[in-house]
Structure 1
Amino acid sequence: MKEVTPEQVLELLNNKTNVNIIDVREDEEVATGMIPDAKHIPLGFVEASMDELDKEKDYIIVCRSGRRSANACMFLESEGFKVSNMVGGMLEWEGPTK
């Protein structure tokens, strides 16, 4: 599984790179703030939401600490998606939130 650090994600955003971020935390967690332009798909809904994703795009998967996003990455990878896990999750995110 590919991994990316919060610092690398912030650098991509700062460079205006087209980044596709999926936040798999629960509703009450994202209410405290999420990375701007991230798409919220709670982990329990990832499988049902696969038709909203494009297998030609690269996705960065985010959660609170990196564990749930790793699980989402393993599942999505097995379904043919190109994904990277943001290690450390939002606990280590120092960039802007919305």
Structure 2
Amino acid sequence: MGESMCKYLPQMILDITNTDLNRVMRSHKNFVLIDVRSAIECAQTGTIPGALNLDLQDGSFEAAIPTLSRSKTYYFVCDSGFRSAHACRLMNKAGFHIVYNIEGGMTLWSKYDTEMRKVA
């Protein structure tokens, strides 16, 4: 029984809505938001406030995985949700058991953020 029980935990990729992500951002501190799009995409369309840009396609993301803290919760975004879902699978493969994919990516976040600004 000297082996870590963590290796027996199921690996999960959970989808999270923009509304729920907004709640997390306001109430939790122990999370990391990672935008896996290119730096050019982030500069052109913006990103979610506080997001760390680690490009999935240029190898930056995979190179950073060993440096990521296992005590944090990770949320991933891209343009539509495809690349961020792939990033979640890579995190599972690296032993991070529960990671979140932001539904609809920046496409839906942009619409959500615009609606939130109208309400504020």
TM-score bin (small chain): 0.7 to 0.9
Q: Unaligned 5+ residue runs, structure 2?
A: 1-12, 115-120
Shift of residue 53 of structure 1? Answer: 0.9
Shift of residue 10 of structure 1? Answer: 1.4
What is the aligned partner in structure 2 of residue 66 from structure 1?
81
Q: Unaligned 5+ residue runs, structure 1?
A: none
- In the alignment, the residues of structure 2 paired with residue 2 and residue 38 of structure 1 have an alpha-carbon distance, to the nearest angstrom, of 18
What is the aligned partner in structure 2 of residue 43 from structure 1?
56
Shift of residue 29 of structure 1? Answer: 1.1
Identity %: 37
Give the TM-score normalised by structure 2: 0.72
How well do the aligned residues superpose, as a CA RMSD in angstroms?
Answer: 1.5
Give the TM-score normalised by structure 1: 0.87
| Residues paired across the two proteins, number | 95
Q: Which has the higher contact order (CA 8 A, sep 6+)?
A: 1
After superposition, give the CA deviation of every residue in 1:9-67 in whole Å (9 maximum; x if it has no partner). Answer: 11222x33223100001111110211111111001321111133111211001101000
Task: Kindly name which structure, 1 or 2, has the bigger radius of gyration based on alpha carbons.
Answer: 2
Shift of residue 75 of structure 1? Answer: 0.8
